Amino acid sequence: MQIQIYDTTLRDGTQSEGFNLSANDKVRIAQKLDELGVAFIEGGWPGSNPKDVEFFERARDMQWKNALIAAFGSTCRVKGGPEDDANIKALLDSHTPVCTIFGKTWTLHVTDVLQTTLDDNLRIIEQSVAYLKASGKRVIYDAEHFFDGYKADPAYALETLQAAIRGGAETVVLCDTNGGTFPWEIKQFMKDIKPALGHPFGIHTHNDSECAVVNSLVAVREGAIQVQGTVNGVGERCGNANLCSIMADLELKMGYQCLPEGNIQRLYELSHFVAEVANLTPDEHLPFVGKSAFAHKGGVHVAAMRRSAVSYQHVAPESVGNKMRVVVSDLSGRGNLLSKAEEHGVEVEGAEVVPILNEIKELEARGFSFEAAEASVAIMLKRQEYGYKPPFELIDFFVNVEHRQGRGIFAEATVKVRVQGEVLHTAAEGNGPVNALDLALRKALKDYYPQIADFHLSDYKVRILDSDHGTEAITRVLIDTRNTASRWSTVGAGTNIIEASWRALADSVEYGLMLAH
């Protein structure tokens, strides 16, 4: 059975705090959604702001392969008609094939918010839908606060849906606008409503009770043909139903189809694309599409996974475009390190990783954290490999930070290293002690390893681990480095921030040289 996916990231999603999109951002996301193959893309509320006006103007002239663009708005105003209503006119002026309008279901909203009669509310619902339908639009009707309205007055809630159906709505969508309805309530309400309705219906849920995804899935099982939601579950307050989870569940676990064949494998890409366009850090703990969704840390888990990939995974990561990861920490067993060695092409045997495993556990107890510093783990494994010779060996380093009148603060570092049997002694000035160390090491290595010129420090994070010790506290340093093809992270820790930085820096350079070979 085909389920319609109705994406409202560009409208309802932008009501989330911190989630902001320009008109160009909206176009880019809409194109990605169209490539994925969703049925409807709600572009915004035309006339409400210049960005939405621009989006609809640009969308009008674009070719859409799979999706229909929808404009969103409300029923006409109370005691008026749709023919002279500015909101209805803006919907028509958007020139979208689909118009989605919402109306009031809950008697509280009709009498206290709209301040009108129950009969007049039914009138404006029916007339608004009928006017848009007569103007050549496909109309979807969102029954706002449907479940709260149904609890308050079931008969009237159904009357509002029938008014929209009489007007010509192709689908009526039941909205859990406040996000407070539970799955068992959804199930029972659907069983009561469906026979009386006799018309295609959809579901639109919010996540205020952490039930948006499951409520949507329950609604589908009870006959809903359309699911509305957003990418990554962004939305007002606690967010909307997360379409990434819903689409994966529908196709991989429930036997429904909601995207063109094979496109479910693009979910990971879509999730991270939307976060990147919105300039947000991706939530890597999201089901299916987070980097941690298939990350395994516990030693018992990893040992089992090495024997059977399905032992601790409910679906194959590749089915949504993700991949399995093994995390190394003080909870690791030998399997974690063997998996990491295989990932990085390091040839070590089971017994050879035991000293490294013990060292990692000891270092983590002293403040290191290897979860986010896999390059440091890879280098520790590489050093255990038979015949491996480190590209350089530290003999001494010295760092000096001075303030001089007329010049201000500056740093100078000297480094003595052994490279291919030769002892090199170099010095460099930098804008800080770590920068000076980095430059001095690069100066020593550049003639032997010219590829080091392509290594760029892209991030440097410092965390104090035991703040009650003040300036004597243990400091953890994470360094992110990149070249034209890769990005990697290394770690150092200790009571001396320069020593911690040197360890992370040296690991970073050694790992980069390992990649180059």
Beta bridge partners of 30: none
Rounded CA separation 302/362 (Å): 20
**Distance between first and last Cα of the chain:** 51
Helix (H, G, I), strand (E, B), or coil: what is residue 349?
A: coil
CB 170 within 8 A of CB 132: no
Q: What are phi and psi of 450, to 5 degrees?
A: -60, -20
Would you give per-residue pLDDT tens digits along the chain (517 residues)? 899 999 999 999 999 999 999 999 999 999 999 999 999 999 999 988 899 999 999 999 999 999 999 999 999 999 889 999 999 999 999 999 999 999 999 999 899 988 999 999 999 999 999 999 999 999 999 999 999 999 999 999 999 999 999 999 999 999 999 999 999 999 999 999 999 999 999 999 999 999 999 999 999 999 999 999 999 999 999 999 999 999 999 999 999 999 999 999 999 999 999 998 998 888 989 999 998 887 766 555 555 556 666 677 789 989 999 887 665 544 555 556 556 555 655 565 656 666 666 666 666 666 666 666 677 777 777 777 777 788 888 899 999 988 877 777 888 999 999 999 899 999 999 888 888 999 999 999 999 999 989 998 888 888 877 666 666 678 888 888 898 888 888 888 878 888 888 888 998 898 888 876 7
pTM of the shown model: 0.76
Q: DSSP labels for 135-162?
A: TT-EEEEEEETHHHHHHH-HHHHHHHHH
Rounded CA separation 513/435 (Å): 19
Q: DSSP labels for 10-74?
A: TTTGGGSTT----HHHHHHHHHHHHHHT-SEEEEE-TTS-HHHHHHHHHHHTS--SSPEEEEEEE
Structure tokens at 47: 């006339």
For the chain, what are the domain ranges?
Answer: 4-277, 295-384, 393-516
Amino acid 110: pLDDT: 92
CATH class of 4-277: alpha beta
Tokens 């859990």, residue located: 176
Report which DSSP code applies to 75. P
Rounded CA separation 10/20 (Å): 9
Q: DSSP labels for 463-501?
A: EES-GGGGGGS-EEEEEEEE-SS-EEEEEEEES-HHHHH
Amino acid 492: pLDDT: 83
**224 CB contacts (<8 Å, ≥6 apart)?**
3, 174, 190, 201, 202, 203, 216
- Using only C-alpha atoms, the chain has a radius of gyration, in whole angstroms, of 30
> Which amino acid does the sequence have at 359?
E
Q: Do the bridges between strand 98-104 and strand 138-144 make them parallel or antiparallel, or are there none, so unpaired?
A: parallel
- Taking the CA atoms of residue 458, residue 284, residue 9 and residue 148 in that order, the dihedral angle to the nearest 10 degrees is -150
> Which amino acid does the sequence have at 477?
V
Rounded CA separation 337/218 (Å): 41
Amino acid 483: pLDDT: 87
- The 10s digit of each residue's pLDDT in 169-196 is 999 999 999 999 999 999 999 999 999 9
Rounded CA separation 100/226 (Å): 13
CATH 3.30.1360.120 for domain 393-516? no
Crossing angle of helices 243-252 and 212-221, in 10° steps, is 40
Amino acid 213: pLDDT: 98
Helix (H, G, I), strand (E, B), or coil: what is residue 238?
A: coil
